[in-house]
Amino acid sequence: MGQYFHIVNLDNCSPDGVDIAPINGKFGEHFAGLDDPRLMNALWIPEPGHKHITAAPYSQLSTEPLKVRHSPERIRRYPKRSLANETGEGLPQLPNEIIDHIYQNFHHLIYILRFAATCQRYYDIGRSHIETFMSATFIDSWAGNRIICLGDYAYMNDLPSGMVTDAERELIKKQFNGDEDEDEDEDEEGSDEDEEYYSIYDRLCFLQQLDPLWDIRRKSAPYRALTYDGRLSTFFSELGGHYRHREEKAHMDLDTAYVLRDLISISAITLPGTDIKKLYSGAYVLRNLTSKEFIRGDAIRDLWKKYRFMRHTRFNHVLIIRITWSSDPSLSFEYEGPIQIHRGKWAGHRFDLSEVTSVRNEEGVLEGWKDVSWEVLNELITIHGGHVRDE
C-alpha cells in the first residue's frame, strides 16, 4: 500500500499539521501540488508589536439596543457602566485576580465572550483572554518550531540526530509505559502482542504538551473549522449556524453571534503566503534557524524563468524535500538516484519565513548565515530528472 507522510510540529498543536500542511498522504501523490499558502503563513514572523486579533475597548461598543432582521425584538447590547457592577453582591465582590482565574478555566470561547459582555469590569479583565483565544483560533505561528514530514515507517530509534533530547525521550517512554521500541521489532522474543500500540505520531505529538500555550491551543481547536476563509463575518455566521442551517449544530443563536462580532477586529495586513508576487520578489527568505541557512524567494522566481517545468515550484517544495524522514525509502515517487529524499537533511529543524533584511544587507550575507538557495534548488531539479548549474 505504501506509507503515508504527515507534517508533524513537535512544539505546537495549533493548528494541526493535517489542517495546515500541504502533504497528508503518499509523498509522490502530493508533492507536485504543494502550493497551499497556509504553511508559509504559519511560518511567517510579523513585525514586532503586530496583533492579528484585537478586542475593541469597551468604550467603542454600543450600549444601544439593536434591531436585527432575524428577530422581531430588539437585541440588548452591552450594558452601560454601573456602580452596581463594581460594588454589588455576588460576583462583583470578587477581586480581579479571581475573575481572571475564572476566565482561565473557561473551556469554550462562547463562555468567554458572554462573560465579558456582562459588564465593563468583566470585559476589561477578559479582553486579553478574548484576544489570546481568538488568535489561537485564527492563526498561530509555527515560526521557530521543530517541523518534520514524517512517514508511517519511521521509528523512534531512527529519528534525525538531535531532534529529540534525551529528556524528551525519557518523558515519551514514561508516558507510553516503556513501549517506545514496540513498533521497531514486533517479532522480538518476549514482546507482548497484546500490549497497547501507539504510533510514532502519538509519541512525538505528546511533546506538544510541553508548550506553555498548549492548554489554550487545545481549547481553541474546535473553532478552527469555522475560520476556513480567514474572515470574521464568516466565523461568527458559522458560530451562529447561519451557513449550516441546522440550529442543533450552532454554538449560539445567530443574533447573539452578530452582537458579539463587534468585540473583535482582525488586522487588514496581507499574509505573505497569499501574495505570490511579493513572496518571490526577493523580499522574503525561508530561514533554517537550526543550521543558520536560508533560501531566497527570488532564487525560486529565477528558476521559473529558466525552466518552465519548474514554474510551479514554491517554498513548500524546497522545505518538504529537506524535512522528509522515514526509515523506509518507499515514496511512491518516480525518482531513483543518490539523493535520499526520505532522509531529509533538515528534518526536525526550526524554521521561519522572514524578510530578507534578517539575513543580508547591501554588503551581502550577514555573518553566521549561509545562502543555500541553489544548493537546494539543484536537488529539486535533480529529482525531477534535470540539473541546474550552481550560481
**What pLDDT does 21 receive?**
61
CA distance 299 to 35: 17
Give the strands of the sheet with 370-371, arranged side by side: 351-355, 284-288, 293-296, 370-371
| 182, 195 contact by CB (below 8 A) | yes
Query: pLDDT value at position 236?
Result: 83
- pLDDT of 140 reads 66
Per-residue pLDDT at 31: 82
Q: Which residue has the cell 521561519?
A: 352
Buried-exposed string 6-41: b where 16+ CB fall within 10 A, e elsewhere: bbbbbebbbbbbeebbbbeebbbebbeebeebbbbb
State pTM to two decimals.
0.81
Phi, psi of 269 (to 5 degrees): -65, 140
Residue found under cell 473557561: 106
Each domain of the chain, given as residue ranges in start order, spans 1-50+143-208+270-391, 53-141+212-266
How many other CB atoms sit within 10 Å of the CB of residue 248?
6
**Mean pLDDT, 10 residues at a time, over the chain (391 residues)?**
84 68 76 81 79 85 65 62 73 90 90 86 92 80 92 93 94 76 44 56 92 85 77 81 60 73 77 85 96 97 90 92 94 85 96 95 94 95 63 46
Residues 6+ apart with CB under 8 A from 206: 171, 172, 175, 176
- pLDDT for 226 equals 80
Buried residues in 198-221 as b, exposed as e (16+ CB within 10 A): bebeebbbbbbeebebbebbbbbe
Check residue 15 and give its pLDDT: 65
Helix, strand or coil for residue 7? strand
Number of other CB atoms surrounding residue 380 within 10 Å: 20
